[in-house]
Structure 1
Amino acid sequence: MESIKNKIDQLRKKILKYEYFYHKLDQPIVSDAEYDYLLSQLYSLELKNKQFITSDSPTQRIGSNLIDKFKKSVHFFPMLSLDNAFNLKGYLEFETRIKKLVSNSVVNYCCELKIDGIAVSLIYERGILTRASTRGDGYVGENITKNVYTIKSIPLILKGSKIPDRLEVRGEVFMLKSDFKSLNQTNKSNKEKFFSNPRNAAAGSLRQIDSKVTAARNLMFFAHGYGFFKGMEFIKTHYDRLMKLLEWGIPVNKNIFITSSYLEIFNFYKKFEKKRFFIDFDIDGIVIKVNSIELQKKIGFNAKHPRWAIAFKFSSKEIITRLNKVKFQVGRTGIITPVAYFDPIYISGVKIRKASLYNKNEIEKFQLCINDFVIVRRCGDVIPKIIRIIKNKSDNNSKKIIFPLFCPICGSKLLEDEKEKIVRCNSGLLCTAQKEKSLHHFFSKNALFINGLGPKIISKLIKKNLVNSPIDFFYLKKDDLKKIDKIGDKKSTKIISTIDQSRNTSLRNFIYALGIFSVGERIAEKLSERYESMDALIHSTLIELENIDGIGKIIAFNIFNYFSISKNRVLVIKLLKEIRFSVNRTKQKKYKKKFFIGKKIVLTGKFVSFSRSEIKNILIEFGAKILNKVSKSTDLLIYGENFGSKFFQARQLKIHMINEEELKIFLI
């Protein structure tokens, strides 16, 4: 179970990193196909393991982060993203869900091309374009009205008759491949920013402070939907509504297909999977929507997606390359992971030079050798992944890959767990690789966080032999820190101060910081609820641990085994002399706690007296569940300064709300 949690945590970290580069910097470092598949993999894992879902998971929010340089626009209705299918089986599962929801109704589907662009909302008041905004987080977008005015394919005034007093059009802003190529050539000549793909160029162009720059980029637009269509309710199908938009002068892509047959849908998909390379704009799949508006309403939405629509994504290409070497990496808990390095290849504009081989079994399954020619795929399987080798193309220089018997870092004998299919180094802090990662973990954000003491500084302290275990950090002096490059008197003083602050922590954070194999934040929280002190936990029996709800035999054994090792007990006892645990608020405020027990709480805005993570930790201790989205099931909204759309949603749903000052009354 912990291996699943670790996989979920690693997926989240990757996705959040990719989102930062994609949305904040307009510099994607992976293909959309890889991002989509990683997100779908995370969604699938969380669906099967709901106990690991956190409010800050990428699956629990819609769209992108907002950029501060634009004013914000609250959407009249949420701009939800689409669920994805990556193969025919995934699409058929979507159809099966639809049939269950509409029972005996005959369902026609409207198939459209999925334009790889920037989702925008256009508001027309009495036929005049008055506002344009990006999707943003789905509820609040960036106001880009001035820039959209410069896009020639978007009409400023609608033509024709019976135009609604208010109309919201939704669609994609994109750049033609030919214009993208010209832009990069010009930028290269002028030594300006080079864009990695047309979607990236369109995003950068649309988010210009100077609308003249946007105007020069020749952006395009296709409509694919609407937020409201007031006064036109008599138009009963999605297709007919798109045709009405076209009649009013709003561009709609002509490649639309209506059918009730999954075979015809799949043929439409295959047709454009081949044609996409010959079209002058990027498409990354097709979108299939229930055509009947009445059935759409009946089928409804979930928190992230309309249930009546799905994006059927194209798979990325498979490319042949030569395997050059395999390195064996040592993780924080000692797990040995083989990583394949091959001649660099490009898939969907992304350079790939390595792929995880996961474990010893993967090498043996393929009978993989150095200098073998391998096929690498992205999307549709684990990404990136070696899916097979080409034996007849491999030459006589092939060398068998031998999984090491000893740790590549510290030289200690490796132990193989055939049941878990893992090979581990059990040297712990005696192994430099584990030491670095363990110390990074010990002082990470949800453990004993020390502001200013990041992985780079910790690694330098280890190399200079100033620290070898967590206890050494509490003995550090200013002069020790000043031995590290770029750390002067001011910074060393600040770090020593934050180290002192970290001495005050919670039992849960301390347990998590120890890095016990298979003990993540959730298990640490359960242990802190069960045991009043570290001493009680250290002396717990295997049977006691197994009887804790949510802790099975494997995790119980890992905890028991950790404290049965004398060097671990000695380290914990030393640390307990330096660390003070905060009073258990759950017991200290027994009466006030009752207010929060079992409540589903959403936070919004900026808090002055507490950080958001502090408030979350306190409320979780009080028995609350922290959610990321407001819904009818939300019990309480706590808001700070500069609150966003969640506040208005909660007010509309008549959800109980308190501000930061009112919250403090419960916490004092």
Structure 2
Amino acid sequence: MYLLKRQIRRLYEQLLYWDFLYYIKRTPEVSDNAYDCARDELAYLERCYPGLCICSRSGLFKKKKHILPMLSLRTTYNKEDMLLFDKRIRNRLKDKPEADVVYCCEIKLDGLAVSLLYKDGCLVRGLTRGDGIYGEDVTSNVLVIEAIPNKLLNDGSLPHILELRGVLVMSNYGPNILTRFSNYKSNYYSTPRNAASGSIRQLDPTITSKRSLSFYCYEGHSILPGTSPLSISHIANLNKIISWGVPVCEHRRTCVDIKEVFRFYDEIKRIRFMLGFSIDGIAVKLDSIEHQKKLGVSTKTPKWSIVYRFSSEEKMTKLNKIVFRVGRTGILTPIASFNPVSVSGVTIRAASLHNISFIRRLDIMANDTVIVRRSGDIIPQVVRCIPKYRTANTKQVVFPLYCPSCFSLLTKALTKDKVYLYCTSGLSCPSQLKASLKHFVSKYAMNILGLGDVIISKLVDYGLVLNSYGLYYLKAKDFMKAASIGLNLSHKLVLRISNSKRIPLSRFIYSLGILKIGRLTALSIASSYKTLNSLLLADITSLASIPNVNIKAASNICLYIRTHNNIIRSLASILDIF
């Protein structure tokens, strides 16, 4: 018993030290896999020997579910998309008077989105956005941020339970101010969002209180069932939130047409560097709450809102080659490999070319000189090629006739105006099988830690796994043989696979990797059908009647159930799905 207690103490202190390096020093010294292994071992020992538990360290940033999903917003960089957005809105609302289509425009702050829950005007919980469904509980830290009111002013209209959503930003962001926050002067946060994120995740709330964080609310919701919206319009909601003593960014405007939206965009673009904090565009939303509800939301984004971003930094580089990668659904994605180039402080070497239509539209050729950028300051993107720099080495892109993984004949798939190359071999194609297994074990699916790309690839190459349920028949010796890993880690992987057998229905649906079925859609389906057997008997009509499920998604579910029924039944016989 003494040795067990000492082991628990050692793991606890080790994890606490790694947390300190990661969240405060920003200099992690171990991989995510090593951290997860130590955390799982501690959790296992604490479950087996609860009397030896040390006061939990994991409660600092425990994940909790959002009352309403925090969806992301669709983004664009060009006027054409904005004009199409306006056209779609007006087509959907053509039964309404033209004057009723009014937009509320706000600046898009580059910071960390948070959700604040107030009960009778008192702040009781603060969550980060996280993945939109679950966020980290940072209540102890938001309580010490001066810009966030702990108690709201009550003018008689304050709801009993109110959720406010907003953005935390680092005021006057820049290297000079951030130098004070680090003992390592060369170790700055790379972006304003990282600065805000690092500040809110401090283990010591007194450190958070010393950071120059500002908070700006962008929406609010009355939570109790049956309660009406705060107001009939978004701009009126913001004005009401201001009356309760909550900061709202003053740069907002209602626009009666898309031309006024463009004028607001141009005005903000001119003053963006004088605001004292970083922004990356404007958010355009339908002002009418009634219209917002009529348009609804897609799997990830509201259909009534869009972010019109400012242009990203662009750099010129040389495209060396284009390779075709087979994805989980069988679609081949062309990947451009180019000379390394630094864009917005990040070195990028490759970017997706999406599909055949994209290559033809940009007239991209092998060995071209291209312009690249980071879309949304995150995703590498090829913007265009420069034909005048073409040489004798520049050649037309040769599209493959056979799958580079299983060598079966490829077919062309047409989706709207896009042409894709498609491998029809399914799980018989090694690349599709590997990608499918990678999705199956991922964090938001079966959540099997430590089973990464390299191990999955080797298991498939050795023929030890032919489908997802084959993972549950693996032995420790299989991992040792295929992945050349030690006995202890092999046993841990077998244990983690076994521990993943009890799973909610929503996560199981998502783990199947059905086309167009994301986590939010899977959650809606699970809430409607309750059991797997009920889902297997569903038809397209009943599925399409579920919120967040359109006809295309419903068709994909029915097709998957019909073609993969054996796999689903085999998994159901192994797993405890609830």
1:201/1:396 Cα in 2 relative to 1: closer, same or farther (>3 Å)? same
What is the CA distance between 1:251 and its match in structure 2?
Answer: 1.9
Aligned sequence identity (%)? 28
The corresponding residue for 2:111 is 117
Q: Does 1:146 align with 2:140?
A: yes
Q: Does 1:310 align with 2:300?
A: no
Count of residues paired in the alignment:
458
Where do 5+ consecutive residues of structure 1 fail to align?
1-24, 27-66, 501-519, 524-598, 605-611, 634-663
What is the CA distance between 1:281 and its match in structure 2?
Answer: 1.9
Q: Does 1:355 align with 2:331?
A: no
For 2:300 and 2:434, the matched residues in 1 are separated by: 37
The secondary structure found in structure 2 opposite 1:100 is coil
Question: CA contact under 8 A between 1:440 and 1:454: conserved in structure 2?
Answer: no
The corresponding residue for 1:276 is 272
1:469/1:130 Cα in 2 relative to 1: closer, same or farther (>3 Å)? closer
Q: Which AA in structure 1 matches 2:321? A: V
Q: Does 1:374 align with 2:380?
A: no
Q: Does 1:487 align with 2:485?
A: yes
Q: Does 1:209 align with 2:134?
A: no
What is the CA distance between 1:133 and its match in structure 2?
Answer: 3.9
What is the CA distance between 1:286 and its match in structure 2?
Answer: 2.3
For 1:238 and 1:422, the matched residues in 2 are separated by: 40
Question: CA contact under 8 A between 2:411 and 2:423: conserved in structure 1?
Answer: no
The corresponding residue for 1:262 is 258
* Residue deviations 1:482-514 (CA, integer Å, cap 9, x gap): 4567534456678899999xxxxxxxxxxxxxx
For 2:237 and 2:283, the matched residues in 1 are separated by: 16
Q: 2:431 aligns with which of 408, 425, 437?
A: 437
* Residue deviations 1:316-342 (CA, integer Å, cap 9, x gap): 426242224104346489987653222
Q: Which AA in structure 2 matches 1:322? A: T
1:131/1:320 Cα in 2 relative to 1: closer, same or farther (>3 Å)? closer
Q: Which AA in structure 1 matches 2:267? A: K
The corresponding residue for 2:194 is 200
Q: Does 1:288 align with 2:284?
A: yes
Question: CA contact under 8 A between 2:438 and 2:453: conserved in structure 1?
Answer: no
Q: After TM superposition, list the pairs within 5 Å mapping 1:427-576 onto structure 2.
A: 437=431, 440=434, 455-457=453-455, 459=457, 482=480, 486-489=484-487
The corresponding residue for 2:220 is 226
The corresponding residue for 1:106 is 100
For 1:70 and 1:308, the matched residues in 2 are separated by: 32
1:88/1:300 Cα in 2 relative to 1: closer, same or farther (>3 Å)? closer
Question: CA contact under 8 A between 1:417 and 1:423: conserved in structure 2?
Answer: yes
1:166/1:359 Cα in 2 relative to 1: closer, same or farther (>3 Å)? closer
Q: Which AA in structure 2 matches 1:326? A: K
Question: CA contact under 8 A between 1:482 and 1:489: conserved in structure 2?
Answer: yes
CA RMSD of aligned residues (A): 6.0
For 1:127 and 1:453, the matched residues in 2 are separated by: 46
TM-score norm. by structure 2 comes to 0.58
Q: Does 1:88 align with 2:82?
A: yes
1:478/1:151 Cα in 2 relative to 1: closer, same or farther (>3 Å)? closer
Question: CA contact under 8 A between 2:170 and 2:192: conserved in structure 1?
Answer: yes
1:323/1:188 Cα in 2 relative to 1: closer, same or farther (>3 Å)? farther
The secondary structure found in structure 2 opposite 1:437 is helix
Q: Which AA in structure 2 matches 1:314? A: R
What is the CA distance between 1:264 and its match in structure 2?
Answer: 0.9
Q: 2:68 aligns with which of 78, 99, 109?
A: 78
Q: Which AA in structure 1 matches 2:277? A: F
The corresponding residue for 1:340 is 336
* Residue deviations 1:112-145 (CA, integer Å, cap 9, x gap): 2122333334455665545444456767755433
Question: CA contact under 8 A between 1:320 and 1:373: conserved in structure 2?
Answer: no
Q: Which AA in structure 2 matches 1:81? A: L
For 2:464 and 2:116, the matched residues in 1 are separated by: 58
Q: Which AA in structure 1 matches 2:253? A: F
The corresponding residue for 1:507 is none
Question: CA contact under 8 A between 1:175 and 1:219: conserved in structure 2?
Answer: yes
Q: Which AA in structure 2 matches 1:114? A: K
Q: Does 1:389 align with 2:314?
A: no
1:283/1:467 Cα in 2 relative to 1: closer, same or farther (>3 Å)? same
Where do 5+ consecutive residues of structure 2 fail to align?
1-21, 24-57, 499-511, 516-523, 550-573
Of the two, which has the highest radius of gyration?
A: 1
